[in-house]
Chains A and B, each alone.
Chain A
Amino acid sequence: MIPDIISAVLILLGGVLSLAAALGLLRFGDLLSRMHASAKPQVLGLLLVAVAIGIQFPTWATVTTLAIVISFQLVTIPVATHMVGRAGYRTKHLRRSMLYRDELAEAVDRAEARELAWERKRGIGTDHHDG
Protein backbone atom coordinates (compact mmCIF):
# COMPACT_ATOMS: atom_id res chain seq x y z
CA MET A 1 0.00 0.00 0.00
CA ILE A 2 2.89 2.30 0.72
CA PRO A 3 4.32 2.02 -2.86
CA ASP A 4 0.87 2.83 -4.20
CA ILE A 5 0.71 6.00 -2.15
CA ILE A 6 4.24 6.98 -3.19
CA SER A 7 3.32 6.47 -6.84
CA ALA A 8 0.16 8.50 -6.39
CA VAL A 9 2.14 11.31 -4.79
CA LEU A 10 4.61 11.30 -7.67
CA ILE A 11 1.79 11.39 -10.21
CA LEU A 12 0.22 14.24 -8.27
CA LEU A 13 3.51 16.13 -8.47
CA GLY A 14 3.57 15.52 -12.20
CA GLY A 15 0.07 16.90 -12.41
CA VAL A 16 1.13 19.95 -10.41
CA LEU A 17 3.98 20.57 -12.86
CA SER A 18 1.64 20.15 -15.79
CA LEU A 19 -0.82 22.58 -14.26
CA ALA A 20 2.01 25.04 -13.67
CA ALA A 21 2.93 24.83 -17.34
CA ALA A 22 -0.69 25.34 -18.38
CA LEU A 23 -1.04 28.37 -16.12
CA GLY A 24 2.19 29.73 -17.54
CA LEU A 25 0.75 29.29 -21.01
CA LEU A 26 -2.37 31.09 -19.90
CA ARG A 27 -0.80 33.98 -18.04
CA PHE A 28 2.49 34.77 -19.75
CA GLY A 29 2.34 37.24 -22.59
CA ASP A 30 5.39 36.31 -24.61
CA LEU A 31 6.42 33.39 -26.74
CA LEU A 32 9.71 32.88 -24.94
CA SER A 33 8.03 33.07 -21.54
CA ARG A 34 5.53 30.47 -22.64
CA MET A 35 8.34 28.26 -23.86
CA HIS A 36 10.00 28.65 -20.47
CA ALA A 37 6.80 27.55 -18.76
CA SER A 38 6.04 24.67 -21.09
CA ALA A 39 9.36 22.88 -20.61
CA LYS A 40 8.54 21.76 -17.06
CA PRO A 41 6.11 18.87 -17.49
CA GLN A 42 7.77 17.64 -20.65
CA VAL A 43 10.93 16.63 -18.81
CA LEU A 44 10.42 16.76 -15.06
CA GLY A 45 6.76 15.73 -14.98
CA LEU A 46 7.42 12.76 -17.21
CA LEU A 47 10.45 11.87 -15.08
CA LEU A 48 8.30 11.81 -11.95
CA VAL A 49 5.66 9.68 -13.66
CA ALA A 50 8.36 7.30 -14.88
CA VAL A 51 9.65 6.95 -11.32
CA ALA A 52 6.09 6.18 -10.24
CA ILE A 53 5.82 3.44 -12.86
CA GLY A 54 9.23 2.11 -11.84
CA ILE A 55 8.08 1.89 -8.22
CA GLN A 56 5.04 -0.09 -9.27
CA PHE A 57 7.00 -2.47 -11.54
CA PRO A 58 10.52 -2.92 -10.20
CA THR A 59 11.69 -5.18 -13.00
CA TRP A 60 14.56 -4.66 -15.39
CA ALA A 61 12.39 -4.69 -18.48
CA THR A 62 10.14 -1.91 -17.29
CA VAL A 63 12.91 0.21 -15.85
CA THR A 64 15.03 0.06 -18.99
CA THR A 65 12.03 0.88 -21.16
CA LEU A 66 11.31 3.87 -18.98
CA ALA A 67 14.94 4.90 -19.33
CA ILE A 68 14.50 4.75 -23.10
CA VAL A 69 11.40 6.91 -22.85
CA ILE A 70 13.16 9.51 -20.71
CA SER A 71 16.19 9.47 -23.01
CA PHE A 72 14.08 10.09 -26.09
CA GLN A 73 12.24 12.86 -24.33
CA LEU A 74 15.52 14.48 -23.24
CA VAL A 75 16.83 14.30 -26.79
CA THR A 76 13.80 15.44 -28.74
CA ILE A 77 12.34 18.17 -26.53
CA PRO A 78 15.37 20.51 -26.87
CA VAL A 79 15.26 20.04 -30.64
CA ALA A 80 11.62 21.08 -30.84
CA THR A 81 12.10 23.95 -28.42
CA HIS A 82 15.14 25.20 -30.28
CA MET A 83 13.29 25.19 -33.57
CA VAL A 84 10.32 27.02 -32.08
CA GLY A 85 12.55 29.62 -30.46
CA ARG A 86 14.51 30.09 -33.68
CA ALA A 87 11.35 30.66 -35.70
CA GLY A 88 10.02 32.94 -32.99
CA TYR A 89 13.17 35.04 -33.02
CA ARG A 90 13.13 35.35 -36.77
CA THR A 91 9.50 36.31 -36.94
CA LYS A 92 9.87 38.69 -33.98
CA HIS A 93 7.51 36.90 -31.67
CA LEU A 94 9.28 38.36 -28.68
CA ARG A 95 9.18 41.54 -26.69
CA ARG A 96 12.41 43.47 -26.68
CA SER A 97 11.46 45.28 -23.51
CA MET A 98 11.28 41.98 -21.61
CA LEU A 99 14.71 40.84 -22.66
CA TYR A 100 17.49 41.32 -20.18
CA ARG A 101 20.18 40.71 -22.77
CA ASP A 102 20.00 39.77 -26.43
CA GLU A 103 23.20 38.02 -27.36
CA LEU A 104 21.96 37.01 -30.78
CA ALA A 105 21.52 40.66 -31.79
CA GLU A 106 25.31 41.08 -32.00
CA ALA A 107 25.56 38.22 -34.47
CA VAL A 108 22.62 39.67 -36.40
CA ASP A 109 24.37 43.04 -36.53
CA ARG A 110 27.53 41.42 -37.84
CA ALA A 111 25.58 39.52 -40.46
CA GLU A 112 23.76 42.68 -41.53
CA ALA A 113 27.05 44.56 -41.85
CA ARG A 114 28.45 41.75 -43.95
CA GLU A 115 25.33 41.74 -46.08
CA LEU A 116 25.64 45.49 -46.59
CA ALA A 117 29.29 45.20 -47.60
CA TRP A 118 28.45 42.41 -49.99
CA GLU A 119 25.70 44.47 -51.57
CA ARG A 120 28.06 47.42 -51.98
CA LYS A 121 30.74 45.26 -53.52
CA ARG A 122 28.24 43.72 -55.87
CA GLY A 123 26.92 47.15 -56.85
CA ILE A 124 30.42 48.38 -57.74
CA GLY A 125 31.53 45.24 -59.49
CA THR A 126 30.35 43.75 -62.72
CA ASP A 127 26.60 43.57 -62.62
CA HIS A 128 25.83 40.62 -64.79
CA HIS A 129 22.40 40.05 -63.35
CA ASP A 130 20.56 43.07 -64.68
CA GLY A 131 22.60 43.51 -67.81
Chain B
Amino acid sequence: MSSLVFDILVVAGSVLLGTSAIIALYRIVRGPSILDRMIATDVVLASIMCGLGGFMALSHRTDLLPVLIVLAMLGFVGSVSVSRYVSKSDSMTPGAEVGALSDFSSSDWHMPKDAEDDSTDAETAAESEWFEDVARGISDVADGPEAVTVRDEAEDGHSEAEDGHDAPEVGLDVGSDPDVDGEGEGTGPDPGPEDSDDSSRTGPEPDQTDLDPGAEGKRP
Protein backbone atom coordinates (compact mmCIF):
# COMPACT_ATOMS: atom_id res chain seq x y z
CA MET B 1 0.00 0.00 0.00
CA SER B 2 2.66 2.42 1.03
CA SER B 3 4.79 1.46 -1.95
CA LEU B 4 1.84 2.28 -4.22
CA VAL B 5 1.50 5.71 -2.61
CA PHE B 6 5.23 6.24 -3.01
CA ASP B 7 5.10 5.32 -6.68
CA ILE B 8 2.15 7.60 -7.29
CA LEU B 9 3.94 10.50 -5.58
CA VAL B 10 7.12 9.95 -7.56
CA VAL B 11 5.32 9.70 -10.88
CA ALA B 12 3.24 12.79 -10.11
CA GLY B 13 6.32 14.81 -9.18
CA SER B 14 8.13 13.72 -12.32
CA VAL B 15 5.16 14.62 -14.49
CA LEU B 16 4.89 18.05 -12.86
CA LEU B 17 8.56 18.80 -13.35
CA GLY B 18 8.52 17.62 -16.95
CA THR B 19 5.39 19.62 -17.73
CA SER B 20 6.87 22.77 -16.23
CA ALA B 21 10.05 22.31 -18.26
CA ILE B 22 8.03 21.86 -21.45
CA ILE B 23 5.91 24.95 -20.78
CA ALA B 24 9.03 26.98 -20.05
CA LEU B 25 10.52 25.72 -23.31
CA TYR B 26 7.39 26.96 -25.07
CA ARG B 27 8.01 30.38 -23.52
CA ILE B 28 11.62 30.24 -24.66
CA VAL B 29 10.53 29.55 -28.23
CA ARG B 30 7.66 32.00 -28.29
CA GLY B 31 8.94 34.66 -25.91
CA PRO B 32 8.53 38.13 -27.35
CA SER B 33 11.78 39.52 -26.02
CA ILE B 34 15.08 38.03 -25.03
CA LEU B 35 14.52 38.85 -21.37
CA ASP B 36 11.44 36.62 -21.33
CA ARG B 37 13.56 33.90 -22.82
CA MET B 38 16.15 34.32 -20.10
CA ILE B 39 13.52 34.11 -17.37
CA ALA B 40 12.13 30.96 -18.98
CA THR B 41 15.65 29.57 -19.14
CA ASP B 42 15.99 30.18 -15.41
CA VAL B 43 12.78 28.30 -14.81
CA VAL B 44 14.03 25.40 -16.92
CA LEU B 45 17.22 25.41 -14.89
CA ALA B 46 15.25 25.42 -11.64
CA SER B 47 13.20 22.47 -12.89
CA ILE B 48 16.39 20.63 -13.79
CA MET B 49 17.83 21.29 -10.34
CA CYS B 50 14.64 20.13 -8.63
CA GLY B 51 14.59 17.00 -10.77
CA LEU B 52 18.24 16.32 -10.05
CA GLY B 53 17.66 16.70 -6.33
CA GLY B 54 14.64 14.42 -6.47
CA PHE B 55 16.62 11.84 -8.38
CA MET B 56 19.36 12.02 -5.76
CA ALA B 57 16.89 11.67 -2.91
CA LEU B 58 14.94 8.79 -4.39
CA SER B 59 17.78 6.75 -5.83
CA HIS B 60 19.96 7.05 -2.71
CA ARG B 61 23.07 8.53 -4.24
CA THR B 62 24.97 11.61 -3.18
CA ASP B 63 27.56 11.80 -5.93
CA LEU B 64 25.52 14.41 -7.80
CA LEU B 65 25.78 17.06 -5.09
CA PRO B 66 28.75 18.84 -6.78
CA VAL B 67 26.62 19.14 -9.92
CA LEU B 68 23.96 20.86 -7.84
CA ILE B 69 26.55 23.19 -6.34
CA VAL B 70 27.90 24.15 -9.75
CA LEU B 71 24.42 24.78 -11.11
CA ALA B 72 23.59 26.98 -8.12
CA MET B 73 26.84 28.89 -8.49
CA LEU B 74 26.86 29.48 -12.23
CA GLY B 75 23.19 29.51 -13.10
CA PHE B 76 22.95 33.28 -12.95
CA VAL B 77 25.76 34.05 -15.38
CA GLY B 78 23.58 33.70 -18.45
CA SER B 79 20.88 36.02 -17.21
CA VAL B 80 23.36 38.67 -16.07
CA SER B 81 25.34 38.68 -19.30
CA VAL B 82 22.27 38.77 -21.51
CA SER B 83 20.79 41.59 -19.44
CA ARG B 84 23.96 43.60 -19.80
CA TYR B 85 23.93 42.95 -23.52
CA VAL B 86 20.33 44.14 -23.75
CA SER B 87 21.15 47.36 -21.91
CA LYS B 88 24.16 47.99 -24.12
CA SER B 89 22.35 47.34 -27.37
CA ASP B 90 19.47 49.52 -26.29
CA SER B 91 21.81 52.39 -25.49
CA MET B 92 23.30 52.04 -28.97
CA THR B 93 20.07 52.82 -30.78
CA PRO B 94 20.70 55.27 -33.64
CA GLY B 95 17.96 57.68 -32.53
CA ALA B 96 19.51 58.27 -29.13
CA GLU B 97 21.51 61.36 -28.40
CA VAL B 98 25.23 61.34 -27.86
CA GLY B 99 24.96 62.93 -24.42
CA ALA B 100 22.53 60.31 -23.22
CA LEU B 101 24.78 57.60 -24.54
CA SER B 102 27.85 58.95 -22.85
CA ASP B 103 25.95 59.60 -19.67
CA PHE B 104 24.87 56.00 -19.57
CA SER B 105 28.29 54.63 -20.34
CA SER B 106 30.06 56.90 -17.89
CA SER B 107 27.99 55.49 -15.06
CA ASP B 108 28.87 52.05 -16.22
CA TRP B 109 30.84 49.80 -13.95
CA HIS B 110 33.99 49.64 -16.02
CA MET B 111 34.18 53.21 -17.18
CA PRO B 112 34.87 55.44 -14.16
CA LYS B 113 38.37 54.14 -13.55
CA ASP B 114 39.95 55.86 -16.49
CA ALA B 115 37.42 58.66 -16.31
CA GLU B 116 38.51 59.60 -12.80
CA ASP B 117 42.07 59.82 -14.00
CA ASP B 118 41.12 62.66 -16.32
CA SER B 119 38.81 64.41 -13.89
CA THR B 120 41.24 67.26 -13.23
CA ASP B 121 41.69 68.50 -16.79
CA ALA B 122 39.24 66.57 -18.89
CA GLU B 123 39.61 68.45 -22.16
CA THR B 124 43.34 68.25 -22.55
CA ALA B 125 43.46 64.72 -21.23
CA ALA B 126 40.79 63.56 -23.64
CA GLU B 127 42.45 65.20 -26.58
CA SER B 128 45.87 63.95 -25.63
CA GLU B 129 44.47 60.48 -25.21
CA TRP B 130 42.90 60.71 -28.61
CA PHE B 131 46.17 61.82 -30.09
CA GLU B 132 47.90 58.99 -28.32
CA ASP B 133 45.47 56.53 -29.81
CA VAL B 134 45.98 57.97 -33.26
CA ALA B 135 49.73 58.00 -32.80
CA ARG B 136 49.81 54.41 -31.67
CA GLY B 137 47.53 53.45 -34.49
CA ILE B 138 45.33 51.37 -32.24
CA SER B 139 42.00 52.83 -33.21
CA ASP B 140 40.39 51.06 -36.10
CA VAL B 141 39.74 53.61 -38.76
CA ALA B 142 36.23 52.49 -39.65
CA ASP B 143 34.45 53.85 -36.57
CA GLY B 144 37.29 55.84 -35.14
CA PRO B 145 35.91 59.38 -35.04
CA GLU B 146 32.50 58.39 -33.68
CA ALA B 147 33.96 56.30 -30.92
CA VAL B 148 36.38 59.06 -30.01
CA THR B 149 33.54 61.57 -29.96
CA VAL B 150 31.44 59.44 -27.68
CA ARG B 151 34.30 58.87 -25.30
CA ASP B 152 35.08 62.55 -25.28
CA GLU B 153 31.49 63.37 -24.34
CA ALA B 154 31.59 60.71 -21.66
CA GLU B 155 34.67 62.03 -19.98
CA ASP B 156 33.46 65.58 -20.14
CA GLY B 157 30.13 64.62 -18.56
CA HIS B 158 31.86 62.73 -15.86
CA SER B 159 34.17 65.64 -15.19
CA GLU B 160 31.12 67.85 -14.81
CA ALA B 161 29.75 65.38 -12.32
CA GLU B 162 33.06 65.36 -10.49
CA ASP B 163 33.29 69.10 -10.40
CA GLY B 164 29.79 69.30 -8.97
CA HIS B 165 31.18 68.63 -5.52
CA ASP B 166 33.14 71.81 -5.12
CA ALA B 167 31.57 74.09 -7.71
CA PRO B 168 28.40 75.55 -6.20
CA GLU B 169 27.47 77.55 -9.29
CA VAL B 170 26.51 74.31 -10.99
CA GLY B 171 23.57 74.06 -8.60
CA LEU B 172 23.05 70.35 -9.06
CA ASP B 173 23.19 67.46 -6.67
CA VAL B 174 25.24 65.37 -9.00
CA GLY B 175 27.61 63.95 -6.46
CA SER B 176 24.93 62.76 -4.07
CA ASP B 177 23.75 59.79 -6.07
CA PRO B 178 25.96 58.87 -9.00
CA ASP B 179 23.94 55.87 -10.04
CA VAL B 180 20.90 57.95 -10.94
CA ASP B 181 22.70 58.91 -14.12
CA GLY B 182 22.24 55.45 -15.49
CA GLU B 183 18.61 55.28 -14.51
CA GLY B 184 17.79 58.19 -16.73
CA GLU B 185 18.43 55.93 -19.65
CA GLY B 186 15.13 54.19 -19.12
CA THR B 187 13.20 56.98 -20.82
CA GLY B 188 15.24 57.08 -23.96
CA PRO B 189 13.55 57.47 -27.33
CA ASP B 190 13.32 53.80 -28.13
CA PRO B 191 10.22 52.40 -29.78
CA GLY B 192 9.56 49.93 -26.98
CA PRO B 193 9.48 46.14 -26.89
CA GLU B 194 8.58 44.06 -29.88
CA ASP B 195 5.94 41.98 -28.15
CA SER B 196 3.13 43.33 -30.26
CA ASP B 197 2.08 39.79 -31.05
CA ASP B 198 0.96 39.45 -27.47
CA SER B 199 -2.79 39.44 -27.73
CA SER B 200 -3.61 41.32 -24.55
CA ARG B 201 -1.25 44.17 -25.12
CA THR B 202 -2.88 47.54 -25.31
CA GLY B 203 -0.48 49.34 -27.61
CA PRO B 204 1.75 52.36 -27.20
CA GLU B 205 -0.84 55.11 -27.42
CA PRO B 206 -2.98 54.04 -24.42
CA ASP B 207 0.19 53.53 -22.46
CA GLN B 208 1.21 57.08 -23.17
CA THR B 209 -2.18 58.41 -22.17
CA ASP B 210 -2.01 56.36 -19.03
CA LEU B 211 1.46 57.56 -18.32
CA ASP B 212 0.95 61.25 -18.68
CA PRO B 213 -1.76 61.93 -16.05
CA GLY B 214 0.09 59.76 -13.57
CA ALA B 215 3.31 61.65 -14.16
CA GLU B 216 1.53 64.98 -13.89
CA GLY B 217 -0.36 64.02 -10.77
CA LYS B 218 2.78 62.77 -9.10
CA ARG B 219 4.42 66.14 -9.13
CA PRO B 220 3.31 68.36 -6.28
Contacts and interface: CB of A to CB of B under 8 A. Distances in A.
- Size category of the B interface is 35 or more
A29 B198 contact: yes
A48 to B, nearest CB: 8
B17 interface: yes
Interface in A4-58: 4-5, 7-9, 11-12, 14-16, 18-19, 21-23, 25-26, 29, 31, 34-35, 38, 41-42, 45-46, 49-50, 52-53, 55-57
Chief secondary structure at chain B's binding surface: helix
Interface in B154-197: 156-157, 160, 170-174, 177, 180-181, 183-188, 190, 192-193, 195
A34 to B, nearest CB: 5
B179 to A, nearest CB: 9
A117 to B, nearest CB: 6
B72 A22 contact: no
Contacts of A92: 186, 190, 192-193
Interface of B: 2-3, 5-6, 9-10, 12-17, 19-24, 26-27, 33, 35-36, 38-40, 42-43, 46-47, 49-50, 53-54, 56-58, 60, 62, 65, 68-69, 72-73, 75-76, 79-80, 83-84, 86-87, 90, 99-100, 103, 123, 152-153, 156-157, 160, 170-174, 177, 180-181, 183-188, 190, 192-193, 195, 198, 200-202, 206-207, 210-211, 214-215, 218-219
Interface of A: 1, 4-5, 7-9, 11-12, 14-16, 18-19, 21-23, 25-26, 29, 31, 34-35, 38, 41-42, 45-46, 49-50, 52-53, 55-57, 61-62, 65-66, 68-70, 72-73, 76-77, 79-81, 83-84, 86-93, 95-97, 102, 104-112, 114-115, 117-119, 121-122, 128-129
